[in-house]
Structure formats: structure tokens, C-alpha cells
Structure 1
Amino acid sequence: MKLRPYQEQLVNELHTAWKDGYKAPCIVLGCGGGKSCIVAEIARRTTWNGKRVLFLVHRKELVDQIFRTFVRWGVLMDLCQIGMVQTFTRRLKKLPKPALIITDENHHSTASSYKRIYDYFPNVPRVGVTATPVRLNGDGLGDVNDKLIVGVSTKWLINHKCLAPYDYYAPCIADLTGLHTKMGEYVTADIEKAMIKNTVFGDAIKYYKSLANGKKAVCYCSSLKHSMATAKAFCNAGIKAVHIDGSTPKAERDKIISDFRKGDITILCNVDLISEGFDVPDCECTILLRPTHSLTLYIQQSMRCMRYREGKKAIIIDHVGNYARHGMPDDDRVWTLEKKKHKSVKKAEEEQSKKIKSCPECFFTFESPPPGTTPVCPHCGYVFPKAEREVEVDTEAHLIKVEGFKLDFTSPEDCHSYQDLLTYAKEHGYKKGWAFYQARNRGLLV
């Protein structure tokens, strides 16, 4: 087993950081860059020097997976303990002192359970790995790390055929202003009320058939109930889909993953299981049906379909406007250990939405051109009118209600937003003035 040059460089930079006196560096590398190989190599070198390694994970599903990777890489497992941080915190006095602590998905390490382990072994050097070294509130990880070792960008990985290129589709931006949040995340019960509607299921199925018909996909839902209902809706539409979660028995889960690999199952529906570090066979499409404030969750889920294969073009279908909160998956981001100066969530989302455009004809989503340049959709060639930017921002921020993305309107009464009315007018050959008049009379324009 051999590291790629950019992976080897990160390992070398880590050793240099330790020599320079840093105690807890964090390696930053995008999803699909091979972080598991990097930590396996670090663990292998450490154990082959006769030193113990303590490897921390945050989910039980990852323990066996990482164990297999380490065995395959040649790590001496008699000198390496892999386990959940929650388990280790209860058994600190029984743990033999390690020579190195490695933290998987290091953005979780600001939690008190991790800090208890770090504090118990205060003189033991550490290293963490993550694609997003940031807390949910946007702060850096300076509380637990003293140096960031940043690898190549996601764009670099795509350009060098380490990740597949992608097309990003977002039918419209959902207005989530009525949903409550708790600990920075949307409350599950509120999301269910907004998302557990047949119109949403119909829309998800319609766009899947239109953009990725027959391709293996992973679908991310807002709750277990929503995930199971979504899987059922796909099945009812003749598309083989299965729900999977952390409580699914291991034998059944292995069978589901195997069937997905063989193509007997087309769509895997879940909430968060198939995210951080979870190994799943190659797929070509991800379907986002869950709004999230978490950049980490967004990156992990949206990029699930970007494992490289010759000639592959991944498809990301974002039904909840997550790109407007976080940008595109391969955006270049500047990471820091420091706390950030916070803006309001609404202002940050409005600023981000100005950088991204969604084509009203084919729904292809792309970065806005420089100021003064007429936007043209690179997918279908649609030329945006000059006033489009202002209307788009207003619609995204204020006018779209969480009604799903219903496109089959029987009558104008089925339309619940100005965007719905525009769609209805287009389908029936009406002029745009009709939609504006209807929206104004209904009080949909603020």
C-alpha cells in the first residue's frame, strides 16, 4: 500500500509540525481525498516503531470499517485501539497510555467527551483529520488544535481525476424562515411538517427521473419517518429504494449495501448514516431533501456521489437550497483556528445566494459571472435578463414557501408562491404579467 504524493506530503508536514513543537495538528483534506489512507499510514509507522495508538471515532458503524482498513494497510493491531470516544471516556483508567492519539472527523473534537481524553493524556501528541475544520457556529478548532495542515483543494482533486466532476441542480430555494432551530440545526419535527408531503415526494421522483434516471443514488432525508416514506414513494413509482439507518441489523445492512453495489437496489434513503466516513459503494447521484446549517454535513452528503470513475459525471439534486447557505461543494474555502466574527444567518445566506445562480429553464446551478457580465446558463444556454438577479434574490429570501417543489398545477389555486405562478403561466402559455398580477392580488409579493 502506497500513499499518493499529495498524501505523503501531508504526512511529512505532520512530522515537521511535531518537530517544530506543535502538539495537536489537524490535517485538512476534502472528501474523497483519502484521509483513511493517511491515518492508516500514520498508525502503521507508529505501531511498527513499537508505540501504541489510540484512534477515536464518533460512531459505532465506523469501528469495524476502520479496523479493516488498518489491517489491510499493515497496522499492528496489538498496538492500536480503535473505538468510540464515548466508550473510551468511561474507561480512561483502564486504557494503556498511547504514544499517539488520532481523531477521526476532527471537527467533533471540541465536545467535552473528546477533551476528557485529551486532558487525561496531556503530554501525548495528537493529530486529527477532517474535510471541514469548523464548528457548526463557524468557529475554528483553536480550542483543541494548534496548527492546520491543509492539503490540496477539492477542485485540484477533480482536475487530477481523484474525484469525479459534477452537475448541480436546485429546482428552487426553499424558504425555511418558519422553521425553528435547536443547537444550530433545524428541529426534526418542524422539518417533517414541511417535507412529509406527497408533493415533495412527487417532485423528488420527477427530478430523479429527469436528471438521473436509472443511476444509483443516495437520498438524504430529514428524519427516519421521512426517509422510510421517501423510500416507499420511490418504490411506488417503480424505482427500487430501501431505507437504512443505524438500528438496521448488521446482517441486513450488509445485504442492502451488497444489493446496492450489484444494482439490485437503485436508491438508498437515510438521514445521517451514509455521511461521515461511512463506506458505501460507488453511486452517481445524491438527492438532498434535508436542509442543514452544517457545512460539514452538507459537504459530506452532497459529495457522496463524487467517487472517481473514468467518464463519470456525478449529479447532485438539491431540493432544499443547501447550496445557498454553503456555496458549491468544491468552493475554495479559507480555514482558520480562530473564532470568526459572526453575521446573522439570514444576512450570510443572502450574501451567499448572490454568488450562485439557478437556471429557471433547466434548473442547472452554477457560480454567477463577474459583475457587469450577462449570466448565461452553461448547461442549456439560457440568457438571464438584466433584472433577473434582483428578482432571484427577493424570491429566494422572501417569497418561496416550504410547500415542496410542486410542478403539476391543476389550477391557479394550486399555486402558493410567485414562483409557482410563474411556472403555471409558462406551462399554460400565459404572459409573465399574469403571474405578477395574481401574486400581487394574493399578497404574495412583499
Structure 2
Amino acid sequence: MVAPCGAGKSVIISEIARMTTLKGNRVLFLVHRRELIEQIEETFRFNNVDLSNVQFGMVQTVVHRLDKMRKPDLIITDENHHGLAKSYRKIYEHFSDVPRLGFTATPIRLNGSGLGDVNDVLIEEVDAKWLIENQYLSPYKYYAPKLIDTQKLKLNSLREFSSTSVNDAMDDKTIYGDVIKHYRQLADSEQAIAYCHNVEASKQVSDEFNQSGIPAAHIDGKTPKDERNNVIQKFREGQIKIICNVDLIGEGFDVPDCSTVIMLRPTQSLSLFIQQSMRGMRYRPGKTSTIIDHVDNVRRHGLPDDKREWSLEGKKTESGEKEIPIKECENCFAVYPPNHKWCPECGHQPEVKEQKDYEVDETAELQEVTESDFSFTIDHREPKDCKNMKELSELAKNRGYKPGWAYHQGKLLGYL
């Protein structure tokens, strides 16, 4: 089940668990982080779920205790896009005849693979745009460096921005704009969460805010629980305006309501982008969330509430085969496997480039990015996912194909 941020996933899961346990059936609830158990258990108690028939389990623990566990009648997986990992698969295979239900906001892995190996039905009912229009999420304003003409961005056969157009547009190792100046300009005095690219950068950003008279704190996975809770409580009370972290405040992490997100960490993960960018969009009457994107993640992934068409098949090349990684020789232009250290044709050994740290371009100005800046839908469906010619035509349009493509696919699928 695709449940966008703000769709009430915990409430939906707890009701399914309540109805299941009401019949005396057992539920195994799988998560990948302990904090998620504490939060969902509280929702289960509030909804009067029979906890004697529920086992909450971290995947890392459950996978080592399979032979000692009672067989469940239903397995519910939270953040189901992790479900292709070996640990999850081992649990699924051990209880191979037990029905499974998974929840995620983004049913796709970072490498583009879909969830068809562990799920066979994809359920989509509402999207982020509907949640905003119906006041379950707050509207937002999005600011990013206006470095490129988005009309010139090209989609390749994998429905990703072509590497050439993106690389020409920006440097992935650059943070654009003065962080303090843009916070004051766009969200002055608002409470914000800042996502940084590593722990040292997070600490540095926190120090810069404090030196500028804006109360801030850094937390990471090694921050003692009491200290972390103290920071979050001060954030809740308004004593701290900015919480800086890397990826800690993400999937299921419980933080008080805030209105602003500061993105200082480029990511190729659509799931991570959606989790982070929508963190400030919890609904409150009259509220408008502000997303300050200093690393231009919006060009990689689109806006948080863009329409996205999903498929269990994942992203494939036009031939239906997975993309094979290759290297291209910069000397003779021969292609060869990526594990070769030199070109087998001419013997050229490419220079190993030293990985540089992030650079800051404080002169860059961020501008508002709106829906009109994007003229396409990110469509992960395959032709066989379409049920009729109308959906095939829509898929063709979203991919930028000519109408004849939809006609050809319709004939192959028997719709004509």
C-alpha cells in the first residue's frame, strides 16, 4: 500500500491489526529501527489493539529467532521499500504461506528495482496533492538555486534526468547560497530541521546558527538518548529553533511540528527526499511550510507532491532488461566492465580523482520553484501496468513519447 507522508499510515495499520487480533489471529509487525516500534505501539494501544496477539520485531532480531517464533497469521512491514533486503526475504520465505501487507510512501529502491519480488498487488488511493487539497498536509513554498532552465532537462530511457543535462547544470558537491541569510530571508524565527551531508557538517551548521544568535542544536545516532530527548523537548518548547542532523530525522522519527526544512544534503534516493522535504508539512490551520533546498534536490526528484505513477516492476530499459553498468575509456572510447582498472583495448588507466568535500557558493540566490517549472509526470509504470488505451496514452505523454508508441503497445496488449 502506497501511503504518502501524512496519509495516516500508523492509524490505518493499527486498525488492520485491531481487526486481525479481534478474531484471535496473530500479527507480526516488522520494522528496521527500534524507535518505530515505540511509536506504533503507542498508536496500537490508543486504538485498543489486542497486544497479546501482536509481536513487534526489528528485522535484525527476528531473522535470528525464526525457529523459536510462533507462526503469525499476518505479517505487516513498515517502510516496505526495505523489503527486498536479504533479512526481510529470509523472514518472508520462512513464513511463505502467511499473507503479507507492506506500507511505504515510495515503492522503489535506490537502485531502481521495484518490489515485485516480495509483493504482488500495488494499492494506491490518495497522493500528496490530494492530502494538501483536503487539509491533511499543509501547502508549501519551495526555494532552490535557479541554475538551469528546467524546460531543457531531458529524460532518458529510465525516466531519469539524463546525466549530461544534470551534470552540465550543477555540481553535486556544491551547497548553494548563504544558509543563515536565506533562513532569515525566507523563514525568519520559524522552527526548522536542517539535513546535512555528514556529522561534522551538521555540527558546523549548528555552530553557525548559534553564532548568529539563532538557537540551534545537533543530534546524531550516537547522541545519548537523554540528551536527544532534551534537545527535542527544547525544540518543542521553542527554546531551540534549528535541529541539525544527517539522516536521523527520517522514517518514522517523532519530532514536534515544525514549518521549515533546510536541505544541505544532496541525495539520489527519492524515498529519502520525500521523507525529508515533507517533514515540515504536518497540517495546521493557516500554516504554509517552507522548503529551502540549497543542493537542488528538486531537479533530481521533482516537487514533493508531484504526481508519480508507480509499478512493482521498477525501472527498466526499453528492452525490459536491467541496466548493466559499464566504463567508457576516455582515450579510445572502448567500453568495458567497471571492475577493470584499465582499458583492455588500449591499456589506458584512468586517473583516480580524489574525492573532494562539499564546496559552498555563498553568492548563489535561491528562488521559488513552483509546479509550472515542471512539465512532466515521473512515471514508473510499464505498458503492462496500464489497463486500457487511455492509460497507455497517459504513459506515453509522461515519458515524452509519440502517440504511435501507445498505439503499438495497445496492439501488443490486445486493447485494439
Q: Write out aligned runs for 1:106-117 (5 A).
A: 106-117=80-91
- Is 1:244 matched up with 2:186? no
1:65 to 31, 39, 60: 39
Native 8 Å contact 2:189 2:241 kept in 1: yes
Q: What is the percentage of aligned positions where both structures have the same residue?
A: 56
Native 8 Å contact 1:305 1:314 kept in 2: yes
Q: 1:362 to 1:221 in 2, by over 3 A?
A: closer
Structure 2 length normalisation: TM-score? 0.71
Q: Write out aligned runs for 1:367-406 (5 A).
A: 367-368=371-372
Native 8 Å contact 1:221 1:227 kept in 2: yes
1:204 and 1:140 mapped to 2: Cα distance? Answer: 36
1:370 and 1:50 mapped to 2: Cα distance? Answer: 50
Deviation, structure 1 residue 137: 2.1
- CA deviation string 1:127-157 (max 9, x = no partner): 0001110111223210110001102111110
Deviation, structure 1 residue 247: 2.2
Alignment gaps of 5+ in structure 1? 1-26, 175-192, 345-359, 372-446
Q: Write out aligned runs for 1:209-358 (5 A).
A: 209-342=184-317
- CA deviation string 1:80-128 (max 9, x = no partner): 1112101110111111111110000000000000000000100010100
Native 8 Å contact 1:291 1:321 kept in 2: yes
Residue 368 of structure 2 aligns to which amino acid in structure 1? F
Q: 1:362 to 1:94 in 2, by over 3 A?
A: closer
Counterpart in 1 of 2:135? 161
Counterpart in 2 of 1:7? none
* Helix, strand or coil at the partner of 2:137: coil
Counterpart in 2 of 1:105? 79
- CA deviation string 1:388-417 (max 9, x = no partner): xxxxxxxxxxxxxxxxxxxxxxxxxxxxxx
2:314 and 2:8 mapped to 1: Cα distance? Answer: 28
Native 8 Å contact 2:176 2:294 kept in 1: no
Residue 117 of structure 1 aligns to which amino acid in structure 2? I
2:127 and 2:105 mapped to 1: Cα distance? Answer: 10
Which range is displaced more, 304-313 or 331-340? 331-340
Q: Write out aligned runs for 1:411-426 (5 A).
A: none
Deviation, structure 1 residue 66: 1.6
Native 8 Å contact 1:53 1:100 kept in 2: yes
2:247 and 2:269 mapped to 1: Cα distance? Answer: 12
Counterpart in 2 of 1:177? none
Counterpart in 2 of 1:80? 54
Q: 1:314 to 1:146 in 2, by over 3 A?
A: same
* Helix, strand or coil at the partner of 1:304: coil
Counterpart in 2 of 1:397? none
Deviation, structure 1 residue 249: 2.0
Deviation, structure 1 residue 78: 1.4
Structure 1 length normalisation: TM-score? 0.66
- Is 1:36 matched up with 2:10? yes
Native 8 Å contact 2:177 2:294 kept in 1: no
Deviation, structure 1 residue 369: 6.2
Deviation, structure 1 residue 271: 1.0
Deviation, structure 1 residue 194: 4.4
1:258 and 1:370 mapped to 2: Cα distance? Answer: 39
1:145 to 116, 119, 136: 119
- CA deviation string 1:343-394 (max 9, x = no partner): 99xxxxxxxxxxxxxxx986111233698xxxxxxxxxxxxxxxxxxxxxxx
Residue 181 of structure 2 aligns to which amino acid in structure 1? K
* Helix, strand or coil at the partner of 2:221: coil
1:48 to 18, 22, 33: 22
- CA deviation string 1:24-59 (max 9, x = no partner): xxx102111111111111111111211111101111
- CA deviation string 1:241-274 (max 9, x = no partner): 1111222222222221111111011011111111
Greater per-residue helix proportion: 1
2:76 and 2:197 mapped to 1: Cα distance? Answer: 31
Deviation, structure 1 residue 173: 4.9
2:215 and 2:317 mapped to 1: Cα distance? Answer: 44
1:308 and 1:66 mapped to 2: Cα distance? Answer: 20
1:298 and 1:170 mapped to 2: Cα distance? Answer: 14
Q: CA RMSD in A?
A: 2.1
Counterpart in 1 of 2:183? 208
Deviation, structure 1 residue 303: 0.3
Native 8 Å contact 2:261 2:276 kept in 1: yes
* Helix, strand or coil at the partner of 1:341: coil
Native 8 Å contact 1:173 1:319 kept in 2: no
Deviation, structure 1 residue 341: 2.3
1:207 and 1:171 mapped to 2: Cα distance? Answer: 11
Residue 367 of structure 1 aligns to which amino acid in structure 2? E
Deviation, structure 1 residue 228: 1.3
1:313 and 1:65 mapped to 2: Cα distance? Answer: 26
Native 8 Å contact 2:146 2:366 kept in 1: no
* Helix, strand or coil at the partner of 2:131: helix
1:243 and 1:226 mapped to 2: Cα distance? Answer: 10
Deviation, structure 1 residue 311: 0.2
Residue 168 of structure 1 aligns to which amino acid in structure 2? Y
Q: 1:297 to 1:133 in 2, by over 3 A?
A: same
Q: 1:276 to 1:342 in 2, by over 3 A?
A: farther
Native 8 Å contact 1:61 1:246 kept in 2: no
- Is 1:365 matched up with 2:356? no
1:53 and 1:206 mapped to 2: Cα distance? Answer: 50
1:161 and 1:151 mapped to 2: Cα distance? Answer: 16
1:314 and 1:46 mapped to 2: Cα distance? Answer: 37
Native 8 Å contact 2:215 2:239 kept in 1: yes
2:314 and 2:129 mapped to 1: Cα distance? Answer: 26
Q: How many residues align?
A: 308
